[in-house]
Structure 1
Amino acid sequence: MTTVTSPLAGAAVGLSAVPDPVFSGSMVGPGTAVDPLREPTEAVSPVDGIIVSLHPHAFVVVDADGRGVLTHLGIDTVQLNGEGFELLVAKGDSVERGQTLVRWNPAEVEEAGKSPISPVIALEASADALAAVLEEGPVETSTTLFRWK
């Protein structure tokens, strides 16, 4: 079982609250989403693993069991071309749960007309593979968002 913790402090809102049909419809995979605090913040790794994909606005960490977890920092933030995002790791790096990966400011993302709501997705998983999915309430970076059976 893989425990996925929140990469951000804020509030769990569930995928249905994500203003993008690809995420809200679980087309990328099941999971949940976090509405981050509107202040300069750090996105941390939700699992121990290896960075297999890294962009200013999104990253995928694959754990020892081969399970990939996508964190997408905001919606349509690819259109910001990396502006306002600072990468602190590189593709291929081994990381630990809670390790800071990206610095960004959700308030600036919102000021640029984008939603800062951040999906956290279990890639290549079925919805019934996830248990105890957190879809509401305050979260810290140590809060469990879901368990992947």
Structure 2
Amino acid sequence: MNLLGTRQHQITLKRLLMLAFFSLLVLVPTSASASTNWKHLDMNSLGTATKMKVLKYNSLNWGEYYDDQSDLFKDTKHVQYKYAKRTRTLIMRYRNPQQFLLKTKYNYRKLIYRHGHKNPIVTHYFKVGHEKWKFATTIHYWLKKPIRY
């Protein structure tokens, strides 16, 4: 007697396969849950610099960034971050104080770390509202203690 040939066994085999498939979907994280990966950022983890040297800057974006920084990137209490260890990229998310004007809830800063942890070279980008990422500066820092990132 062929077990897979009977109709009843085929239905139960399909149910088992569907159950296995749906249990895998529950166990594997989806991209929808990726939005919950934001963590609270302690600004002390970025280190304190004894000295710094600007290596490169975009004259247009650099001025715009430092003019807007006092308003748009001022809130250090509610800053959240995501960090990609492989690329050493830190994305910080700030609450937007001008939500009604820009029609967005957050502004973003992206820091890309290169070289060591004691004397890193950091490339700064920023994004206000729904704009694209804008390059601001590349700065070489000399820190008192190593950073975590």
Q: Quick check: TM above 0.5?
A: no
TM-score by length of 2: 0.30
- Tell me which of the two structures has the higher relative contact order, counting C-alpha pairs closer than 8 angstroms and 6 or more residues apart: 1
> Greater CA radius of gyration, 1 or 2?
2
Give the TM-score normalised by the residue count of structure 1.
0.30
Q: Determine which structure has the larger helix proportion and give its number.
A: 2
